[in-house]
Amino acid sequence: MNNLSMLKIVFIMLSVLMLASAGNSNADKQPNIETESFWIVLPPEVARHTAGYGIIKNTGEASDTLLKITSNAGAVMLHKTEIQSGKARMTHIPNIVIEAHSELVLKPMSFHLMFSDLSPVIFIDGSKATLFLEFEQSGIIKINILIRPNW
Amino acid sequence: MLNKLATLAFISLFSCSSFIVTAEQTLPVLSGVGGDFSAMDTNGEAVEFNHYAGKVVVLAFGYTNCADICPFTLGYLKRLYGGLSANEQQKTRIIFVTIDPEYDTPGHLKSFIGHFNKDFVGLSGSQEQIDYIVSLYQAEYNRLSVLNIPTQNIRRVNPKLFADDEQAKEDNASLYSHTVTLYLIDKQGLTRSLEYTGTPVEQFIKKIQQLINE
């Protein structure tokens, strides 16, 4: 084997190593989901629905998709209120992508959790409900949320 | 001569600036928005809007099956009302008009509104009465199912087993889109300002106080 052939082999091996390294680098990119400031509005006793708010942050390097939300407080879905010409309109968001280094802010008159079939046992001022956020990549994230009046 | 001109100019300027300040501070009458109407209060008694003459009124539309906007609005109105003195509260009425009178019966409305403040006034009535009030205030509402939005998907994720027909009927309550404007109405029943929950409470309170003192 002459020197030129040796060089070719070394070059090919280096290229393969570099490609493998790049591949691993992409595979290492993961989402990192964090939640903060979550709370649920204490509804009037006769109410059949209420809302929850908070922030879902993705501090990771890859996007993730929120697929499903469940809670012991009742049935819960992600909704979005939109104000158009002074009129509020609500839409159901079946799932939502949270990009890397971005956040989903749930607040009044915007994205929010809509609770129905409320559990009377859970909805007491100062009590806590459990929320399960199911993500495509991150799996199920469990958080405990304070229930309090909205004033 | 020059002194006289300078004096006149000063007086004119002062008068103009006073006028501008006054004009800025006076809330205009929004003609064509609002008026007298009949409804039913939370005790089931017929009531005319003229009954509230002499009070400054903040009027909102909504319904009790609303999860986000209406409770948020009533929480905002609670903070607003709480920012008034006891004397100012006596001269002010916070009125919540339901757009879903079929579901929001007077008793139900009373319980819902009372969660926020016992002083708040809930108004219901026949659908015709509600539609008339909505038209008076150039407001709007739509049943979401009318807009071809599948409310069964909005309302729940899991099917519910109903114990009886009564419960099943109850669950058919509708969801609506509706106007979120807060109407500030003076002691003569004239609409003077259109506000939103985005209005800083302190700013809104000043407007109420201004109308109280007119």
Give A143's pLDDT tier (boundaries 50, 70, 90).
Answer: very high
Topology (CATH) of B30-212 = Glutaredoxin (3.40.30)
Q: Measure the CA–CA gap between A17 and A33, rounded to whole angstroms.
A: 32
Q: Which runs of E-coded beta strand occur in chain B?
A: 38-40, 46-48, 56-62, 92-98, 121-123, 141-143, 176-179, 182-185, 191-195
Contacts of A44 in chain B (CB under 8 A): 64, 71, 111-112, 114-116
Helix, strand, coil percent values for chain A (each to nearest 5): 15, 50, 35
- DSSP-derived secondary structure letter, B176: E
Per-residue pLDDT tens over the stretch A11-29? 676 665 555 555 555 568 9
What ipTM describes this predicted complex?
0.80
Rounded to 5 degrees, what angle do the CA atoms B143, B149, B150 make?
110
Say what the pLDDT of residue B16 is.
40
* Region at B44 (left for phi over 0; alpha for psi -120 to 50; beta for the rest): left
Place of tokens 């100019």: B9
Count of C-beta atoms within a 10 Å radius of residue A98: 20
% residues pLDDT > 70 (chain A): 83
Q: Measure the CA–CA gap between B177 and B179, rounded to whole angstroms.
A: 7
Say what the pLDDT of residue B162 is.
39
Return the SS3 of A81.
Answer: strand
- Give mean pLDDT, residues A73-90: 92
CATH entry 3.40.50.1000 includes domain A33-148: no
Q: Is B75 on the interface with A (CB under 8 A)?
A: yes
Distance from CA of A63 to the nearest CA of B (A): 25
Say what the pLDDT of residue B156 is.
41
Nearest to A150 among B71, B114, B154 (CB): B71
Residue A19's Cα: distance from chain center in Å?
32
CB A65 within 8 A of CB A78: no
Say what the pLDDT of residue A68 is.
95
Say what the pLDDT of residue B139 is.
96
Q: Which runs of E-coded beta strand occur in A59-127?
A: 64-71, 75-84, 87-92, 96-98, 102-106, 111-116
Q: Measure the CA–CA gap between A74 and A48, rounded to whole angstroms.
A: 10
Per-residue pLDDT tens over the stretch A87-117? 998 889 999 999 999 999 999 999 999 999 9
Disruptive mutation site among B59, B68, B70 for chain A (greatest number of A CBs within 10 Å): B68
* Region at A37 (left for phi over 0; alpha for psi -120 to 50; beta for the rest): left
Give A3's pLDDT tier (boundaries 50, 70, 90).
Answer: low
Q: Which residues of chain B have pLDDT under 70?
A: 1-24, 145-173
Domain segments of chain B as ranges: 30-212
Return the SS3 of A104.
Answer: strand
Say what the pLDDT of residue B143 is.
86
Contacts of A49 in chain B (CB under 8 A): 65-67
Return the structure tokens found at B113.
């509104």
Nearest to B75 among A87, A116, A150 (CB): A150
DSSP per position, B85-116: -HHHHHTEEEEEEES-TTTS-HHHHHHHHHTT
Q: Is B123 on the interface with A (CB under 8 A)?
A: no
Q: Measure the CA–CA gap between B182 and B199, rounded to whole angstroms.
A: 10
